[in-house]
Structure 1
Amino acid sequence: MTVDVFAEQRFGGNALAVFTDAAEIPENVLQPLASELNLSETTFVLPPDDPAHAARVRIFCRTSEFDFAGHPMVGTAYVLADRARDGRLTFEVRAGVVEVELRHDAEGRVRGAAITAPLALEVGANHSVDSIAACLELSAGDVVTERHEPVEASMGNAFVIVEVRAEALTRAAPNSPAFRSAHAARPGLTRVAVLAYARDGDEVRCRMFTPLSGTPEDSATGSANLALAGLLLHLSGGDRLAFTSLQGVEMGRPSRLELEAWSTQDGIRASVAGSCIPVLRGEAAFA
């Protein structure tokens, strides 16, 4: 089944393919199948290791498998809503356990989900302003550094997070050679994925670029926005924050993500919520 995730209307948000019964799909077919579908992510639903959980979910982008990703968790929860207990599901992913709460409309129909990241915030190293600006085909003057330098942050999936001027965000574009240079400068990084954002009060506009993973630009990136929410709370020194993130506008696939972050004894945790719209249903043949 395919669904548009974080979408307010069909063909908005970020498309996701969910294989609801992947137990019989050969292992060596999973990555080629995700590549064939050519979406930013595809999920494969398997029986859970712990029977108390709803499913074990494997997440693939066009080129590799992820430990965790946000829009695949929200979309998979929407598709598997009939497995919920009291409106909740728990998914096993490589990064840990993802807690899910279904969201309903006024008529009681499932319209989406809120997920909590499986890990607390981890803040990594800063990146060069010049290097990250080059990745986005911007100048160093377009980067805002009053709150933070371009910095690695993760809540199960790592991103380089950079604040830019609002006008520059609209102009940004992925520069693959610059991404390769940034990756070469940090050999410990599995990939370089850059979330650029601009703030306007309680609303944030974002764009996410990861051309070396086959996704030049992503229209809605839950895991990146989770890392952003955690980072902003970390920088504020507060106990909790909530904001709306808009992404995908420049791609013609507007997406709306509702973010919350809060402090706990074990670190900063965060959740992301959004709506889903079903698009396609079918089956794959492997004979």
Structure 2
Amino acid sequence: MKTLKYSLVDVFTTTPFGGNQLAVFHENTTLKTETMQMIARELNLSETVFIRPPSDPKKEKNLRIFTPKVELPMAGHPTIGAAYVLADKGILGTKEGSNEWILEEGVGDVPVTVYKENSHILKVEMKQPLPVFGEKYLNTENAAKLLSLSIEDIDTTLPIQTVSTGVPFLYIPVRSLSAIKNISFRTDVWEEYFSNNPSTKHIFTFTMETEEATSTVHSRMFAPAMGISEDPATGGASGPLGAYLVEYGVISPIENETYFLRSEQGIEMGRPSFIDISIVKGGNEFKEVKIGGNCVIIGSGELRLNQK
């Protein structure tokens, strides 16, 4: 009998029962891929992450990230949550100030910074791959139908377009907060028009109207292909969101080439989440994409396996 210990973490929040739930298995597990996938399906959280020894001893850890259906090459809230657990439990040593780590993921090396002050973890930040802008989706009628909205609810001053920093998402701009709150995602429309194209099967919607004064953008994400009906906080989609808003001039730089914004997500699900996004772009070139936030360890558990 093999016993695996894990922490249950709420990510992108400072309040228990907010943010996005995550299970972090943190004992250098060397399980088979199919076993990790079964565990993720059993726990049925949007993601489960397994911390493993790095292939390169110069790196801190290797992460394997699973939704209930698939393994992901990179994801934001599992990276932030795993780094928080590594720091909070002292698995990796931390000093006051900033701590720079490299975590191995499917997309390659992911730089992470853990900020510590007065023995408390204030924030975890991850650097994402530079954004890749994909195809524009031109059928506004299908996009509106997918969300159970009218065409008038779609903000046609901005494109419906795929952007990726590791995992592609289709970004659908919505005109108002009231419209985005009225979304009812139609899986029948998704299956017919969106599910068979890797560029359009993960759906991210946003509006520039927000509930919180400190937020820049209000977001919702739907990913039935991952086994996620709706996600309360999507770090892997928030970096590309920031790049999209910078690319189309929706937000202005705070200084020189640096842009900062905060995405609020999960409010419709009763799990408010707040994701900080920073973008560096000079001329036509993106130079850096980072996302960050805080976490709360809300519980722990054990999983017993009859296999190695």
TM-score (norm 1): 0.92
Q: Residue 129 of structure 1 corresponds to which residue in structure 2? A: 140
Residues 70-79 or 277-286, more deviating:
277-286
Task: Return closer, same or farther for 1:49/1:121 CA change in 2, 3 Å cut-off.
Answer: same
Q: Residue 3 of structure 2 corresponds to which residue in structure 1? A: none
- Contact preservation (8 Å) 1:132, 1:182: no
Instruction: Give how far 1:270 is off.
Output: 1.0
Q: Residue 4 of structure 1 corresponds to which residue in structure 2? A: 10
Task: Return closer, same or farther for 1:55/1:172 CA change in 2, 3 Å cut-off.
Answer: same
Q: Residue 198 of structure 1 corresponds to which residue in structure 2? A: 207
Task: Return closer, same or farther for 1:190/1:37 CA change in 2, 3 Å cut-off.
Answer: farther
Equivalent positions of 1:122-201 (< 5 A) are 122-127=132-137, 128-146=139-157, 148-166=158-176, 167-183=178-194, 187-189=196-198, 192-200=201-209
Equivalent positions of 1:48-67 (< 5 A) are 48-67=54-73
Aligned match of 1:256 in 274, 277, 296?
A: 274
Instruction: Give how far 1:77 is off.
Output: 0.4
Q: Residue 94 of structure 1 corresponds to which residue in structure 2? A: 106
**Structure 2: runs of 5+ lacking an equivalent:** 1-6
Instruction: Give how far 1:103 is off.
Output: 2.7
Instruction: Give how far 1:18 is off.
Output: 0.7
Instruction: Give how far 1:215 is off.
Output: 0.9
Matched AA of 1:229: G
Q: Percent identity?
A: 30
Matched AA of 2:161: V
Report the RMSD for the aligned CA atoms in angstroms.
2.0
Instruction: Give how far 1:211 is off.
Output: 2.2
Instruction: Give how far 1:266 is off.
Output: 6.4
- Contact preservation (8 Å) 1:160, 1:193: yes
- Contact preservation (8 Å) 2:30, 2:52: no
Give CA deviations for 1:204-262 in whole Å, capped at 9, x if unaligned.
11011112322111000011111100111222296321111100011000001111111
- Contact preservation (8 Å) 1:6, 1:14: yes
Q: Runs (4+) of structure 1 moved beyond 6 Å?
A: none
TM-score (norm 2): 0.86
Matched AA of 1:222: G
